[in-house]
Amino acid sequence: MFTGIVQHMGRITAATPTPAGVRLTVDPCGWSHEPARGDSISVSGACLTVVEVRPGAWGFDAIPQTLARTTLGSVAAARGVNLEHAVLASTPMGGHIVQGHVDGLGRVASIQTSGQWRVRIEPPEESARFIVAQGSIAVDGVSLTVADAAADGAWFEVALIPETLARTTLAALAVGDAVNIEADHLSKLIAREVARQMALRPSPSGRDR
């Protein structure tokens, strides 16, 4: 589990095909965190397991499902990534509960940089119904508050403060870019429970649905 508070920016230096998918090599770019093999790291919102640790080079194996559902399937060398290690008992919960299980790819529809920096994103269909104004969202692993959202789920907007722009890769976004989206896990749980309870309610005729 993660909080969506990015701890460092790294850089993908290699994406090597393997029989199981792709071996990603990430340069942590001086991050002081020292992971061990088997540790979990959020790489731009995708929870990956450390399989190799060398100075300036951490290895992660990305399987086909991860490659299909995230931007990691189209990574290029030298691409910046947001890094966060898994939550520890001492970790402040400064963001929200982020699992690192990306729902799918969103698409940057527009960016406003004059005055307030605001980004409009078209979410993947599977997560659109969980996104509400003032709710939480993870974009490329960054915990953000939804500033506004279309009633039909076609888009949502986030406002980025200077600190977020300085500490994450979001400042480099351009219109048309794909981003990893993970809707708020609590919203998913509530929606699933409501759907379950509705299915158990008796129909108007008195018969169970």
Tell me the mean pLDDT per 10 residues along the chain, length 209: 96 93 96 96 98 97 95 79 91 88 96 95 93 95 97 96 97 96 84 78 64
Fold of 8-85: Elongation Factor Tu (Ef-tu); domain 3 (2.40.30)
Q: pLDDT at position 90, please?
A: 82
Radius of gyration of the chain (CA): 18
- Look up the CATH architecture of domain 104-194: Beta Barrel (2.40)
Query: What pLDDT, on a 0 to 100 scale, did the predictor assign at position 43?
Result: 97
- Angstrom distance (rounded) from CA 10 to CA 81: 5
Q: Where exactly does CATH 2.40.30.20 map onto the chain?
A: 8-85, 104-194
Pairwise CA distance, residues 152 & 154, whole Å: 6
Question: What is the b/e burial string over 17-41, where b = at least 16 CB atoms within 10 angstroms of the residue's CB?
Answer: eeeebbbbbbbbeebeeebeeebbb
User: Are 183 and 130 contacting, i.e. CB atoms less than 8 angstroms apart?
Assistant: yes
Residue 166, amino acid:
A
Q: What is the pLDDT of residue 78?
A: 65
